[in-house]
Amino acid sequence: MVEPIRFPDIELYRGFGAPVRSESTISGLELISGRLPEGLEGTLYRVGADRQYPSGRTDDIFIDGEGVIHMFRFDRGHVDYRNRWVRTERFKRQEAARRALFGRYRNRYTNDPSVADVSMNTANTSSMFHAGHLYALKEDGLPHLINPDTLETIGTDDFNGAIRSVSFTAHPKVDPVTDELLGFSYQAKGDGTRDIVYYLFDRDRKLQNEIWFEMPFAANVHDFAISDKWVIFSFFPLITDVEVLKKGGPFYQWHPNEQMHVAVLPRYGNAEEIRWFRGPVCSAGHMMNAFREGDLLHLDLCLYDGNCFPFFPTPEGEETEPVPPFLTRLTFDMGQPGDAFTRRRLLDTPCEMPKIDDRFHGRPYRYGYVICARSADGSSAIGRVDVTTGELDRWQPGPGDHVQEAQFVPRAPDAAADDGWLLVPVSRVAENRSDLAVLDARNLAAGPVALFKLPVRVRSTFHGTWVPASARESGHYNYKLPAG
């Protein structure tokens, strides 16, 4: 007898988090209020996870599930919406079997024997646009090439053999001023290895630099940061143990007695120039930005004094208490010997999912955009933080409603810092549907300048990117740093 499709009754799959399992095409979203700013032409791409079939497990985690790519196309005063499954090999195998074939998050030893040699890559974390190519990304596999108009999945891409690692990061940095692509792979030779590799590609996808080195342990390296001269990798003690995997255990375990390690690599140099720094145990999922000030190298990140992924236990099987993330600046003195660094909190309000104006990747900047901690009514807010003063401007969509990660769009290719728009997907929890808000980045508290209604639910997405109409046509950004 064929088993029925039935999802477990767990918190992850209740309410707004219930699996959507569908694809939508909406030509022209309803404008609820305001007016779309003139000149806002391009496409917002977002990627998140959904469940194709129930796994049969009650320990599923929110970062698992098949990839779904979402598209909001801004075209001559209208906004169209489309979403499609990323048709990975994993997705296609399950589609044919009409059931889940993959087990615990990233643990290949818990998979159905029929897919023993199939990649677990879900392509469910982020999107990237570079040199005319759009990708859906997940850090445990190669990028999936996506048609930027139809969202059809074309297949995996190793950049004509240049990516020699088994995977590629879900947090690459595309510098829209130089049009360079910077990325990496951790556990780059397979699960549990200590290998990590840094890649630098030019505007035409040609490999310009590649540095292989070893991590202090088989860490999770979800994100990294860049400056004009240096690239920063942080190693927190979320560690993979293959023997644990073979017994059906979690992909990562939190080791609270280990140190934090930081490797600073030359952006255009070699492995012999790497500097190492060490500090007390902590963790982070996401970096805001990094920049150089003489010999001082600053890294701004959402830092947890504990385990940023508490659903990954200690080696003893103990769950860790959730701790709040705070925007923090780590400063490394590249002109002095030693492995110490300093830290300073930039914002006293807990926050996550940091974003900046992409033109300032690796450069001195002033403004960042974050999701602020939830209020007593369960809602969250989008905040703009001035990292020089700590001032916070925010917009909250309403009681019980949530915001997703913001995307900054400059008003013009050479617009002044913070002169532009924030595009923010909104989860209307009580109505079981979504909105898209367009905010003036310089006045969030005033509310949306345009608010669009989706009659469908956009289950929480993780990360995304904005592609101006001109870049979609030419394949290259034409962004410039503002004068002064």
Q: 124-153: per-residue pLDDT in tens?
A: 999 999 999 999 999 999 999 999 999 999
Give a yes or no: residue 182 inside a domain: yes
Q: 12-67: per-residue pLDDT in tens?
A: 999 999 999 999 999 999 999 999 999 999 999 999 999 999 998 899 999 999 99
Domain count, the chain: 1
Lowest mean pLDDT: which of 156-170, 362-376, 402-416? 362-376
Predicted pLDDT at 377: 76
Q: 341-359: per-residue pLDDT in tens?
A: 999 999 999 999 999 999 9
Confidence class for position 484, pLDDT limits 50, 70, 90: low
pLDDT (mean) for 411-436: 96
Residue 85 Cα distances to 151, 180, 460, angstroms: 8, 28, 14
For the domain that residue 278 is a member of, what is the CATH number? 2.130.10.10
Give a yes or no: residue 191 inside a domain: yes
Residue 254 Cα distances to 76, 218, 237, 399, angstroms: 49, 12, 6, 35
The DSSP-derived string for 333-370 is ETTS-SS--EEEES-SS-EEEEE--GGGTTS---EEEE
Claim: this prediction has a pTM higher than 0.85: yes
What are the DSSP E strand ranges found in 359-458? 367-372, 381-386, 392-395, 402-403, 407-410, 420-428, 433-440, 450-454
Give a yes or no: residue 301 inside a domain: yes
Q: Are 401 and 379 in contact (CB under 8 A)?
A: yes
Give a yes or no: residue 453 inside a domain: yes
Q: What percent of the chain has pLDDT over 90?
A: 96
Rounded CA-CA distance 220/56 in Å is 26
The DSSP-derived string for 215-253 is -SSSEE----EE-SSEEEEEEEEEE--HHHHHTT--S-E
Give a yes or no: residue 481 inside a domain: no
Rounded CA-CA distance 255/217 in Å is 11
Helices and strands in the chain, H and E counts: 3, 33
Contacts of 302 (CB under 8 A, 6+ apart): 284, 285, 286, 288, 325, 326, 327, 328, 351, 352, 353, 354, 370
Q: Which long-range contacts (CB under 8 A, 24 or more apart) does 148-156 make?
A: 148/43, 148/45, 148/467, 148/472, 150/84, 151/69, 151/71, 151/82, 151/83, 151/84, 152/84, 153/84, 153/85, 153/86, 153/87, 153/88, 156/121
Q: 298-312: per-residue pLDDT in tens?
A: 999 999 999 999 999
Give a yes or no: residue 242 inside a domain: yes
Predicted pLDDT at 3: 81
Whether 96 has a pLDDT exceeding 90, the answer reads yes
Contacts of 473 (CB under 8 A, 6+ apart): none
Residue 413's Cβ-count burial label (10 Å; 0-12, 13-18, 19+) is: middle
Contacts of 117 (CB under 8 A, 6+ apart): none
Alpha carbon distance, N-terminus to C-terminus of the chain: 71
Q: Are 30 and 90 in contact (CB under 8 A)?
A: no
Q: Which residues pair with 173 in a beta bridge?
A: 182
Rounded CA-CA distance 64/106 in Å is 9
Q: Are 349 and 383 in contact (CB under 8 A)?
A: yes
Predicted pLDDT at 375: 73
Angle (CA) 265-157-178 rounded to 5° is 45
Residue 54 Cα distances to 19, 152, 414, 461, angstroms: 9, 24, 48, 19
Structure tokens at 225: 């940061």
Confidence class for position 1, pLDDT limits 50, 70, 90: low
Structure tokens at 228: 């004009």
Rounded CA-CA distance 295/25 in Å is 51
Whether 280 has a pLDDT exceeding 90, the answer reads yes
Give a yes or no: residue 2 inside a domain: no
- Three-state SS for 143? coil
Q: How many CB atoms lie within 10 A of CB 168?
A: 27
Provide the residue range defining the domain that includes 196. Answer: 11-474
Give a yes or no: residue 6 inside a domain: no
Q: Are 30 and 446 in contact (CB under 8 A)?
A: no
Q: 204-248: per-residue pLDDT in tens?
A: 999 999 999 999 999 999 999 999 999 999 999 999 999 999 999
